[in-house]
Chains A and B, each alone.
Chain A
Amino acid sequence: MHYSPALSFSQPTSLPTTNYAFHSHVDLRFCGLRRQPSGFSFSTHSASTRVSLSTPARGHSNKISASSGNNGTPKSFDYDLIIIGAGVGGHGAALHAVEKGLKTAIIEGDVVGGTCVNRGCVPSKALLAVSGRMRELQNEHHMKALGLQVSAAGYDRQAVADHANNLASKIRSNLTNSMKALGVDILTGFGTIVGPQKVKYGKVGFTDTTVTAKDIIIATGSVPFVPKGIEVDGKTVITSDHALKLEFVPDWVAIVGSGYIGLEFSDVYTALGSEVTFIEALDQLMPGFDPEIGKLAQRVLINPRKIDYHTGVFATKITPARDGKPVIIELTDAKTKEHKDTLEVDAALIATGRAPFTNGLGLENINVATQRGFVPVDGRMRVIDANGNLVPHLYCIGDANGKMMLAHAASAQGISVVEQVTGRDHVLNHPSVPAACFTHPEISMVGLTEPQAREKAEKEGFEVSIAKTSFKANTKALAENEGEGLAKLIYNPDNGEILGVHIFGLHAADLIHEASNAMALGTRIQDIKFAVHAHPTLSEVLDELFKSAKVKAPASTSSPVSEPVSA
């Protein structure tokens, strides 16, 4: 540990952390990679701006115990980086860490791939692929319009379930192999932090192994959240974990929660012949979506299907089917708290969100208190302890920190952390992270919703404009006979900044990236509108969208797309 003399250790230890939290990024260079993983040397900036890396108070004492002190002797750790949890976030971080030359280990107590691969995004996409096709085949009118004739479409539940399961296994082994091939050590067992830079892991009933690492990333993810009063039996009252196994297709299923998970399952279940009742605590279905998109989605995804709904109610008590009785759901008015109704259904799917999986992580050993289970972090995913100080060398990414509970956000956060520990400061631009809901048709979004944008504009004193294009005007969509859809752009008309983009329509989830990349790179509408799209493609929906925006600022002259390119 050979820190240059003017470093944090000479700083007063009582400095409030807020001073550090707002320090501008500094250019840290990491040297002596493998051999001296903890050795830092600083460029010529003044020391005071750099303190952010090692927090004063705890950092000091911890370092003394964890290493041989700051007498300049390099301390060797077992690993440069240990990641607890091999989900999509951990995997993304591990791959990037190897690329950066870090000796990396990943601890997994269950199966590689985490929720996304085993019990989430991946198997649900398999089911949704089936439901999309079923929908198409069952839509005789649609088929006829294309000139196709199909006799009665049917499905084999077990085969559908196998498809989902096989997909999960395949992606899981891909993930495992990619890490093994790159030399990431996969350590099996539940990881617990026993002290600074020190983790033990092991299976239940076996002796634990303790390993040390210069940096640790917590990526333990989340589990389905089940509100109290709801008794999950895994058969008739289920969470997404069970539903993805598709052990049976109920005639009538109540879905508690109308967010992404609930919506996707309603798509699957109705395609397979179930009737669905949504139970939503808020006054509107699909509360997280832009209201206009939500309204349209309701017209297309809810109203014409065999779905009804109760809004503004809590499912306060759900009893699984037993003794010949169906599943019984007690509904309570969200405002008056009075009993409102009782439902009797064949199954209930609890899709009320996800709770962080952070129990048993040993956070108490390093004085970190979770907030509603989430590990508190700052904008750079650095863990904050109970006193509000940053815990050195400890990061938390993904669902466990609750910042943005999306698999790809976890992965992006992991990459951002690896960038930081390898010497390049990096802050993930969360507003540019897209999200998608894979219903038929799909919904996708990035950035702010219209009300959020208007609120921000009011506060910060700028104007907001809206541009919209319809899929009905897109050649490719019409060729597919899928003209139902809308793309919506929320932007600042003065400077052409994209504030948010929302798409509802065919392949919306694939279309959003043009907008999210533009947001991540800071591309303005007046520039991106000159980019060329192949014709006829669905991407022209966004092309139209950008072109229909009325931006006052002129296109920047240095924009790469406006420069002449020699052939």
Chain B
Amino acid sequence: MANALQTSFLPSTSSLRRTPILGSKGKSQALQVKAKIREIFMPALSSTMTEGKIVSWMKSEGDKLSKGDSVVVVESDKADMDVESFHEGFLAAIMVEEGGVAPVGSAIALLAETEDEIAEAKAKSQSSSSSGHKAVEEQPKQIEVAAPDVPAAAPVAAPPAVSASKYVALGSAVHPASEGGKRIVASPYAKKLAKELKVDLGTVVGTGPNGRIVAKDVEAAASVGTTDAAEGTVAASPAKPAPVAPGIELGKVVPFTTMQGAVSRNMVESLSVPTFRVGYTITTNALDALYKKIKSKGVTMTALLAKATALALAQHPVVNSSCRDGNSFTYNSSINIAVAVAIDGGLITPVLQDADKVDIYTLSRKWKELVDKARAKQLQHHEYSTGTFTLSNLGMFGVDRFDAILPPGTGAIMAVGASQPTVVACKDGRIGMENQMQVNVTADHRVIYGADLAAFLQTLAKIVEDPKDLTF
């Protein structure tokens, strides 16, 4: 499943993504660079603050900082605050752009002691991003599809430092005759978007009044840029129509957005995993009744299904395993249920962590929170990338059965259809009516065999048909 976010959010996630990796895998590399280059961390401005948003950078890359200078304005859960530098030096590289969010304690910029080290620090900030690229692919718990593509998308607009200065110039619209004597006329929002999406306005063809560059031109240019970088694996794409286009123009060739490019690559990559499918029909009368009973307490069907699946997985650890290299596989230590959610312009898989252990009410609350965050495009990396088993439910559309493609890096995915009243032959020989739901699991046959899935599904059916355990 593609954990794709809307393109506009990518720059900040990509910079966020570097930080956890710096802490774990990238550490040795970071140390090799030079101790004189310091990281500026996201400070904890209050006891309850877990993450902060960069409101604005008060210094630019290359600026000299004295001890006590205000460097950045951070918005915490309580207030906006100016953050001061504890050291002297030069602001070498900004790693989280304005508007970006970073967890407390993660690096948001690099501080070089001398001017000579600025370049070095810049290289470091970039190498950490490329090491991030590798790490993302190697991370054992990645089921993520969009992620590997993000660093790849970055080079489109040249190294960040260079492009940043370029856009500052554009922002202030000091754009004397250039590009063959033509001035660049772009609307304010188009300029903002260009800066955000790292699009060089000089390369954009305007379609607004008098050839003005408007927002949709920049968006179109940004999506063209990323498909080029994604080396055009266009053909095999199951991608949805372009999310950014206000209307669909029939007969027009639409280039991929960053997200679509990422989905495409990962779907193709999934072909290298030998998968098979096992289906099962589960009676849901008891589950439906339970749902009705506890719905008022904020419990959602999604949470119930995730909980049931997690409890079944607890009895069948192999279905919760994952194989990456073809030589070994990992029994994952926690059961993290990723649930696919369609969001504006794509698809994302927020993760319910430890779904087997967390009670159903907490799980429901957590789910609501995740969905809200997903819609607001504020999910943190770990909140959509740590799933060990994926659920995809199209039941709400009336779909009775379908099969899902296995997200690379995970062992199995379950496609859930609608629960429908069905005429059945009852045990006493009469004809009766029951609510039935079809589920269909796709699994990696290198590690999960038919009997494993069958046993898992039987357990799941038992849990759903007698759901008392779901509420503890």
Q: Name A's B-contacting residues (CB within 8 A).
A: 141, 144-145, 251-252, 275-277, 296, 299, 303, 306-308, 310, 325-326, 340-344, 346, 470, 472-473
Contacts and interface: CB of A to CB of B under 8 A. Distances in A.
B80 A252 contact: no
B295 interface: no
Contacts of B421: none
A306 B189 contact: yes
9 shortest interchain CB distances as A-B pairs: A308-B188, A306-B189, A275-B188, A275-B187, A275-B189, A470-B79, A141-B376, A252-B187, A344-B185
Contacts of B56: 299, 303
Contacts of A145: 372
Contacts of A277: 188
Contact of B210 (A141, A144, A326): A326
B175 interface: yes
A483 to B, nearest CB: 9
5 contacts: A252-B187, A299-B55, A308-B173, A308-B192, A473-B78
Contact of A310 (B173, B185, B212, B214): B173
A341 B174 contact: yes
B212 A344 contact: yes
A346 B188 contact: no
Contact of A340 (B174, B189, B375): B174
A342 B209 contact: no
Contact of A144 (B78, B209, B372): B372
Given A144-B375, A277-B188, A342 B183 contact: yes
How many of chain B's residues touch chain A, expressed as a range?
20 to 34
A251 B206 CA distance: 15
B191 interface: yes
B188 A472 contact: no
Nearest to B186: A308
Interface of B: 55-56, 73, 78-80, 171-175, 183, 185, 187-189, 191-192, 208-210, 212, 214, 372, 375-376
B188 A307 contact: yes
Contacts, number: 55
Contacts of B210: 325-326, 344
A279 to B, nearest CB: 11
Most A Cβ at <10 Å: residue of B73, B173, B210, B375: B173
Contacts of B80: 296, 299
A81 B120 CA distance: 79
Nearest to A145: B372
A252 B188 contact: yes
B271 to A, nearest CB: 37
A470 B78 contact: yes
A274 B161 CA distance: 31
Nearest to B344: A140
Contacts of B79: 470, 472
A227 B342 CA distance: 53
A340 B192 CA distance: 21
Contacts of A296: 80
A306 B188 CA distance: 6
Contacts of A252: 187-188, 212
Given A251-B187, A344-B210, A344-B212, A306 B192 contact: yes
Given A344-B210, A472-B78, 6 more contacts: A144-B375, A296-B80, A325-B210, A326-B210, A340-B174, A341-B174
A275 B193 CA distance: 13
Most A Cβ at <10 Å: residue of B172, B174, B189, B376: B189
Nearest to B171: A308
A325 B212 CA distance: 12
